[in-house]
Amino acid sequence: MHRLLLALGLFLLTASSIAAAQAGPPASRLADLQVGVGYSGADSDYVVDHIRGIAFYASLDVTNHWGGEVDFHQLNDPQPSKVYERTYEIGPRYVLHYGRFHPYGKVLYGRGVFNFPQNVGNLAYNMFVGGAGVDINVLRRVNVRADYEYQKWLSGPGLTNGLSPQVVTIGVAYHFPAGRAHGIR
């Protein structure tokens, strides 16, 4: 996981220098960052009831369309079974811009921690995620997000067929808009 984070960090640093070399005002775009929190609900495909919980996310767009995203979900079964799904995800995203609306698609990789019923224990599994959503500017620096993810947890001990949860998140984020490079007027 550390190698994946390092690789994404190097990609984002490299991509920002490529973005500055594109046509347009020189160094007019450094990066576009937002950090948010949300409420998530999921169809776990392990328990009968829907699980729900909290999500944290951050996106860093280094060009007008390309960037990266990091997501975290903590989803708990409301029943006393003690089942939960905790995920850590990272990967690229592609975003479009239509006025206040910013639809995007993303492909993420991560780890999912599954806590088995009645505190039997938990195990971590690799996972792949495909998703889409939209960020809507509601205030100058505040975005509201509607996000959908299809997660594919790989099989392993305790989950012979893996998991395929579908997760929906509604969130709000503080937006740090792209700025001009220092020394450029």
pLDDT in tens, 143-162: 999 999 999 999 998 888 99
* Distance (Å, whole) CA 124 – CA 126: 7
- CATH code: domain of residue 38: 2.40.160.20
Do 45 and 161 form a contact (C-beta atoms < 8 A)?
no
Do 60 and 35 form a contact (C-beta atoms < 8 A)?
no
The DSSP element (H or E) to which 18 belongs, if any, is helix 2-20
In a domain, 80, yes or no: yes
**Range ranked top by mean pLDDT from 42-46, 110-114, 174-178:** 110-114
3-state secondary structure of 19: helix
* Distance (Å, whole) CA 60 – CA 45: 31
What pLDDT shows up at residue 16? Answer: 47
In a domain, 184, yes or no: no
In a domain, 6, yes or no: yes
What pLDDT shows up at residue 28? Answer: 52
The per-residue pLDDT for range 66-115, each reduced to its tens digit, is 999 999 999 999 888 889 999 999 999 999 999 999 999 999 999 999 99
Cα pseudo-dihedral 6, 32, 39, 163, rounded to 10? -40
Query: What total of structural domains would you count in the chain?
Result: 1
Mean pLDDT taken over the chain: 85
Percent pLDDT > 70 in the chain is 81
Would the pTM count as exceeding 0.85?
no
- Which candidate, 93, 98, 13, places its Cα nearest to that of 61? 93
* Distance (Å, whole) CA 105 – CA 130: 8
In a domain, 87, yes or no: yes
Q: Which domain holds residue 21?
A: 2-176
Report whether pLDDT(18) > 50: no
In a domain, 126, yes or no: yes
| Residue 43 tokens, joined | 């169809």
In a domain, 117, yes or no: yes
Torsion sign (Cα): 62, 36, 169, 119: positive
What pLDDT shows up at residue 82? Answer: 86
In a domain, 13, yes or no: yes
Q: How far is CA 112 from CA 67, 72, 74, 102, in A?
A: 23, 10, 10, 28
183 pLDDT tier (thresholds 50, 70, 90): very low
Report whether pLDDT(2) > 90: no
In a domain, 134, yes or no: yes
